[in-house]
Amino acid sequence: MDKLRRVLSGQDDNEELGLTDQVLDASTLSYSTRVKWFVICFAGGILCSILGSALLFLPNGMKLFAVFYTLGNIAALSSTCFLMGPLNQLKRMFDPKRLIATIVMLLCLVLTLCAVFWWHKRGLAIIFCIMQFLAMTWYSISYIPFAR
């Protein structure tokens, strides 16, 4: 736990992990509060995604599925803002090493909602949800050293 706290507070000089920037800069939240809200937001994101999957089989469930699945991914993605801070999160998201993964992920989020609400294409929405899952996986893996 101390190792995690040192890494998240920027006291660990591990260049390999890309954690040389001070991670907990410019925030008034304590470390334990940040971790609690990270867990709450991440769990809420997973719950939204599961709920969206369950709603898929209802009448008009495709719209609910796309909205809840997308909101779940956004909540899970934004949960790391509690650990790093929003500015550091954005800096890392648009870092040249993971720029393509970030753009593909955000594009899939938007295209999923477009397919359901504007184009009214169920099959296309399912394809974009699958692409959303793959893009989120690729984006998450981009944070693991040497995993790209």
Q: Which residues contact 101 (CB under 8 A, 6 or more apart)?
A: 135, 138, 139, 142
The model carries a pTM of: 0.75
The residue ranking higher by pLDDT, 126 or 22, is 126
The rounded Cα 117 to chain-centroid distance in angstroms is 22
Report pLDDT digits (tens) over 71-130: 999 999 999 888 888 898 899 999 998 899 899 999 999 999 999 999 989 899 999 999
C-alpha 44/C-alpha 135 separation (Å) is 20
Q: Which residues of 38-54 are buried (b: 16+ CB within 10 A; e: fewer)?
A: beebbeebeebbeebee
